Amino acid sequence: MFRTAALVVLNIFALPTTLIRAQSPALLPIHASAGTVVTFYLQTRLNPLAPNLIDRLPKGTTVSVKLLKTIDSAVDRDGSEFVGTLAAPLLSDTKQVILPANAEVYGLIALLRSASHPEGFRYELLVTKIKQDGKTYELTASTTPSLSDRKK
């Protein structure tokens, strides 16, 4: 009986180790040097009645951001913030300037669940807000046109 109990205990403690080794630690890193201009795509917008012009922009509107510091997923972890500036003005569909170049941009590195990625996760850079003249505009923009894993 002692042998059976010892084997059960060993198997319980050995099981998590086996599962951990079965998972691949490889995850595609993100690295972008300071000064790099990164293109982001606005997510889930287009509220034509909103008083905030950013909320009137359609999903997929491009936002060009010049990074002020290097981003490296080997050093910066999930949830780490980054700062940049607009590399070009944010324009409406009628070419009206909504936010000028050099407005402050804030974002974060996110580790997202991904059904289409072989490791099950992927890194994504997300813009979360832009500040200009004391006003903060909250938004979500990512480096991929859609945060969804669905292929169209």
Helices (H), the chain: 2-22
The yes-or-no verdict on residue 145 having pLDDT over 90 is no
Question: Between 100 and 18, where is the model more confident?
Answer: 100
* Contact residues for 26 (Cβ-Cβ < 8 A; gap 6+): 119
pLDDT of residue 28: 80
Please name the amino acid found at residue 83.
Answer: V
For the chain, percent of residues with pLDDT exceeding 90: 43
If one compares 150 and 71, the residue with the highest pLDDT of the two is 71
How does the average pLDDT of the chain come out, rounded? 79
The answer to whether residue 141 scores a pLDDT higher than 90 is yes
Identity of the amino acid at 104: E
Q: Where are the alpha helices (DSSP H) in 1-110?
A: 2-22
Q: Are 104 and 131 in contact (CB under 8 A)?
A: yes
| The pLDDT of residue 4 | 46
Q: Kindly state the tokens that stand for 21.
A: 């080794």
Residue, of 52 and 45, whose pLDDT is higher: 52
